[in-house]
Amino acid sequence: MERRKIDYYIFRAYDVRGVFPKDIDADVARRIGNAFAATFVKKECVVGMDGRLSGPELREALIMGITDAGMNVIDAGLCPRSACIFIARERKLTSAYVTASHLPKEWNGIKFADAEGIELQEEENYRVRDVVLDGSYRKAAKPGRVVKADALCPYKRFLLSRLKRPAKPLKVAIDCGNGVGGLAAPELFRELGFGVDALFADVDGRFPNRPSEIDEKSLGGLKKRVGKADIGIAYDGDADRMVLMDEKGRMLGPETTSFIIMQELAGHEKGPIIANVECLRLMDEIGKRYGREVIRIRVGNSFMVQDVIRRKACFGVERSGHFCIPSIIPMDDGMAASMYAAYALSRSGKKLSEIVDSLPQYPFQRRKVDCPEPLKAKVIAGLKESLAKEGLKVNALDGVRVDFDHGWVLIRPSNTEAIMRLSVEAEDDAELKALTARFLAMLKSEIASLGEKASD
């Protein structure tokens, strides 16, 4: 059996991803499926996919690799990622989902989750990688069987059983972005009693109306429509991430969204709040307001969900737009979070823009700096040493974070790109500019120095 060479770097800390078919094709997906079956599947697993054009080919190959290893597959087909994980979790099975999340249409990949619905962590994903790269391929005497299953109906029934109807009728503008959120979100909101204005709800892997990413640049269509609604909501391609928009067309950060949720959730749920090290100071304000400990963790939605469950938290948030409300559904679920946020708004008696305007806002900036993959760990180690010599208190939980009286700085390697991310928040623009300039220069200098040493 002829096998193509596989790029080591398609195996990321959180998932597998690459450009189709240059980096990942049917042969690569089959081998990954086989390695996943050999390492994390006991007898059976669930497989699903988002709406990318390359999805059906990769899903079929992924399933072939799993069944070659003698394991059975429940094929959930086209569905939101949360629906795939939900039916797997209900059956106490691992899952594999074909998606490239927010990346452009040319990309695709695979995300794995364990039987608790938690995304596999870095060392677990790398176990799959190592089996693939060492050339192992398990061929059982008897291949596994494939059974198709409907993931959407049980997932929607479950959410409708857990979520309450709005306190007053609100109109929701929903931008599905031609992703798989369109298969469930508009119907769910209507069933709960919201008025719905759905944009780009047809699943189309070409993403003809906007990119899969949800940011200021991509949500022009929603901005034009949200003025006639009480709240706007947008999802990425596999609908595990979401953002809110107020009726004035302002996109809310995940911390502001957390406040919308917590103003209702805090009244009936106990436990701390889980937030990663990138989340802004507003999370600390939320903790103080509702008397909750805010526990900072590493970046990664798998860590967030794991800590929500382990610490019996009431809520978890990732700065990238992932949320977990365990009393609704104990997993990372953008649609569930968006529906709860709309319900919370209906109970507030205020316009969304009024709530947004009442919250403290501090200047924030994030910068990207190119950095070769092999240098990332050395850059972080060098920065920790340099900052310690300056007498600064360094939080090394994830990258290097330094807190000051008037702001904080975080430098950490991206787990999905060959870059370092510099995040800075400060009390005013002058302090933001000063901290950014200082640490950007330090980061670039460290990368350049290590690059010169590597080339010697």
Q: What one-character-per-residue DSSP string does 297-365 give?
A: E-SSHHHHHHHHHHTT-SEEE-TTS-EEBTTTBSS--HHHHHHHHHHHHHHHTS-HHHHHHHS----EE
Give the per-residue pLDDT at 453: 74
C-alpha–C-alpha distance, residues 314 and 274, integer Å: 8
Residue 338 pLDDT > 90: yes
pLDDT at residue 455 in the model:
67
- Spatial strand order of the sheet with 419-426 comes to 364-370, 419-426, 407-413, 400-404, 394-395
User: What residues have CB less than 8 Å from 445, skipping those under 6 apart?
Assistant: none
Cis peptide before 21 (omega within 30 of 0): yes
Each residue's pLDDT tens digit, 299-333: 989 999 999 999 999 999 999 999 999 999 999 99
Supply 134's token pair.
């060492």
Nearest to 443 by CA among 416, 415, 414: 414
Distance CA 238, CA 306 (A): 21
pLDDT band at 456, cuts 50/70/90? low
What pLDDT digit, counting tens, does each position of 129-186 carry?
999 999 999 999 999 999 999 999 999 999 999 999 999 999 999 999 999 999 999 9
pTM across the whole model: 0.94
Buried b (16+ CB within 10 A) or exposed e, 210-240: bbbbbeeebbebbbebbeebbbbbbbbbbbb
Q: Is the pLDDT of residue 38 over 60?
A: yes
Structural domains of the chain, ranges and CATH numbers in brackets: 8-151 (3.40.120.10), 172-251 (3.40.120.10), 253-361 (3.40.120.10), 364-455 (3.30.310.50)
Q: Which residue has the tokens 């060492």?
A: 134
pLDDT at 2: 53
Each residue of 348-384: pLDDT tens digit?
A: 999 999 999 999 999 999 999 999 989 999 999 999 9
Q: How far apart are CA 451 and CA 34, in angstroms?
A: 37
Distance CA 240, CA 12 (A): 18
Residue type, 326: P
3 state DSSP class of 162? helix
**116/91 Cα distance (integer angstroms):** 10
b/e 340-349 (16+ beta carbons within 10 angstroms → b):
bbbbbbbeee
Q: What is the pLDDT of residue 1?
A: 44
HSE, side-chain direction, 13 A CA sphere, residue 293: 9
Residues 6+ apart with CB under 8 A from 188: 156, 159, 160, 335, 339
Tokens of 450: 């290590």
Whose tokens are 């009442």? That residue is 358
161 is known as an active-site residue = no
Half-sphere exposure in the Cβ direction for 313 (13 Å, CA): 29
Place of tokens 């909750």: 292
Asked if residue 113 lies in contact with residue 29, where contact means CB atoms within 8 angstroms, the answer is: no
Options 54, 82, 95, 101, the catalytic residue: 101
**CA–CA distance, 316 with 40 (Å, rounded to integer):** 26
C-beta separation of 165 from 222 below 8 A: no
Q: What does the block give as tokens for 385? A: 């040493």
- The pLDDT-based confidence of 12 (bands split at 50, 70, 90) is confident
Q: Rounded distance, CA 73 to CA 95, Å?
A: 9
Instruction: Using a pLDDT cut of 70, give the percent of the chain over it.
Output: 99
Burial of 4: CB neighbours in 10 Å, binned 0-12, 13-18, 19+? exposed
Q: Cα separation of 299 and 319, whole Å?
A: 8
The mean-pLDDT minimum among 7-16, 281-290, 399-408 falls in 7-16
Instruction: Please provide the size of the chain in residues.
Output: 456
Residues 113 and 110: their CA atoms lie apart, in Å, by 10
pLDDT in tens, 408-454: 999 999 877 789 999 999 999 999 999 999 999 999 999 999 987 77
Q: Which contiguous run of DSSP H or E holds residue 282?
A: helix 282-290
Question: Can you tell me the distance from the alpha carbon of 418 to that of 78, in angstroms, rounded to the nearest whole number?
Answer: 31
Tokens of 287: 């903790």
